[in-house]
Amino acid sequence: MGVLDKKVALVTGGGRGIGKAISLALAAEGADIAFTDIQFGADADDLINKLKEMGRRGLPIESDVRKLASAQAAVDTVIKEFQRVDILVNNAGITRDNLLMRMSEEEWDAVIETNLKGTFNFCKASCRQMLGQREGKIVNIASVVGVVGNAGQVNYSASKAGVIGITKTLAKEFASRNIQVNAVAPGFVDTPMTQKLNEQQREGLLSLVPMRRMARPEEVASVVLFLASPAANYITGQVLCVDGGMVM
């Protein structure tokens, strides 16, 4: 038996990248997994197969995190299938990097709507069920740039700073109902996005990291697992940086 045995987790953007690693980490400790994406690819099929091998139930749900109605429909589907939602991980996110002077309104809106409003939408859609259960865990994936900022990412930095604000506020709103709300703020993570960087760009990023390497997705997932587990029952409103020492 794992520490999340008989629990149900909903992971947005949970079929690929960091989200996939989170889904697998939670499932390895016994949770059944519902995961969303705006459109599924081969990664989702691979995740479903791995969940079956682990003896866990997997439920893929196509959902647009930018739309509250879509988020509510996704949560309703989870409740219909599993009768509860114990863990919500708001992981879905995008980047549209540019300097402020060159950034278009479309680039700003796309990131804010996905990263910030998407987090609001799924928290709102799932909170009634968690409040009724009188227990739950919400883990929001923020970023170190939401803590310290980053040139060329005013939209992304603002969205992740907003996610931290949501986290701290909901932690206060939900504390009396035994719902813990925390955030994980990754630094540079070895994903397909960062693998596209050339050697000079990669070295430039690593020079900012005292540990001189990027995080593996599984290292982010292990912190999410901790916050979603009973070991973190007395932790709420916190932001844990997984950044190799970038922010101290």
What is the Cα–Cα distance from 199 to 28, expressed in whole angstroms? 35
Maximum CA extent, the chain: 54
What is the Cα–Cα distance from 32 to 54, expressed in whole angstroms? 10
Residues 6+ apart with CB under 8 A from 76: none
What is the Cα–Cα distance from 26 to 21, expressed in whole angstroms? 9
Residues 6+ apart with CB under 8 A from 110: 94, 96, 155
156 is catalytic: yes
In 29-177, where does DSSP find H-type helix?
A: 42-53, 68-82, 105-111, 118-133, 145-148, 154-174
Q: What are phi and psi of 183, to 5 degrees?
A: -130, 150
What is the Cα–Cα distance from 238 to 147, expressed in whole angstroms? 12
Q: Which residue in the list 108, 122, 156, 174 is annotated as catalytic?
A: 156
What is the Cα–Cα distance from 147 to 119, expressed in whole angstroms? 17
Catalytically active residues, by annotation: 156
